[in-house]
Structure 1
Amino acid sequence: MSAEPDLRLYFLLQRAAHRLRTSADRRCVAAAGVTTAQIGALFAVRDEPRQTQQQLARTLGLRESAVTALVARLTAAGLVAKSAHPTEHRAVVLELTEAGERALTAAQPEIDRFNAELRAVLGDDGFGQAAQALRRLAYWEA
């Protein structure tokens, strides 16, 4: 009786995520001076202006403490601006600055190249299937 091969899916997901993140980070830092985590936050703020840090944490799937540090780096770099929330005295709202918009514009060609390379590795069907599977895993309630 032959045993199924140990696919070690969790290990493979971690390894793939690490390799993809380090490669994408290197490229995006070179092209736009921002990491992929920062780009994700910039896209989220651009797509939903005047959101709170708490909302951004939910969007990114991160703890609020991680988003606080991320937003601090983005504001220090002049990529995001914070202003007082109109009704919640302890909250701030986030807006993309012109520098943040320029960073996204500078990063976009590298993001497109990276995605094209992933499509070449996975094939168009594989790329779509992988995206769907990862989306299901990202929102899976284990």
Structure 2
Amino acid sequence: MAEPDDRLFFLLQRAAHQLRTTADRRLLTAAGITTAQLGALFAVRDQPGLTQQELARVLGLRESAVTGLVGRLTAAGLVSRGAHPREHRAVVLELTEAGSGALRAARPEIDRFNAELRTLLGAEGFTRTAVALHDLAHWRP
């Protein structure tokens, strides 16, 4: 087997894929949303009046990807768009009651998923991994 440091990028990609596909399947069953939609709903909930451009920055996505994501969330009735108070071309995003309901429905599955990861990694390993992933997500080389 190759040295772990030679394969770190591959292992991160593989782990991310495994986690995302498992979480997507579970969240779709529990709340009718994907992990990408969950992240967007959390951001809109946590920052009322968020614009699509700001959402793209928060999620680390291109604006074109967020346009499609917001379109799907709006079509599903989970998010609403409103006029920006100062910028006539911008829209603000607000969580709807259905969006709040989807977050409530997702909560038990999120808790179950995190509990399984804590069991797999151990409590200390879970915390170390969370810190390391946060650092990687905010790394600016």
What TM-score do you get using the length of structure 2 for normalisation?
0.96
Question: Which digits, 9 at most, give the CA deviation of each residue in 1:38-71, with x for residues without a partner?
Answer: 0000010000011100111111111111111100
**1:91 Cα shift?**
0.3
* Structure 2 equivalent of residue 120 of structure 1: 119
**1:141 Cα shift?**
1.1
* Structure 2 equivalent of residue 104 of structure 1: 103
**1:124 Cα shift?**
0.4
Question: Which digits, 9 at most, give the CA deviation of each residue in 1:9-38, with x for residues without a partner?
Answer: 000000000000000000000000000100
> Larger Cα Rg: Structure 1 or Structure 2?
1
Q: CA RMSD in A?
A: 1.0
Between the aligned partners of 1:52 and 1:5, the Cα distance in structure 2 is: 44
Identity level (%) = 71
* Structure 2 equivalent of residue 11 of structure 1: 10
Specify every segment of 5 or more residues in structure 1 that has no aligned partner in the other structure, as ranges. none
Question: Which digits, 9 at most, give the CA deviation of each residue in 1:68-113, with x for residues without a partner?
Answer: 1100000000000000101101000000000000000000000000
Q: Is 1:49 matched with 2:48?
A: yes
* Structure 1 equivalent of residue 87 of structure 2: 88
What TM-score do you get using the length of structure 1 for normalisation?
0.96
Specify every segment of 5 or more residues in structure 2 that has no aligned partner in the other structure, as ranges. none
Aligned length: 139
Between the aligned partners of 1:6 and 1:61, the Cα distance in structure 2 is: 27
What is the one-letter code of the residue matched to 1:91?
A
Between the aligned partners of 2:138 and 2:43, the Cα distance in structure 1 is: 17
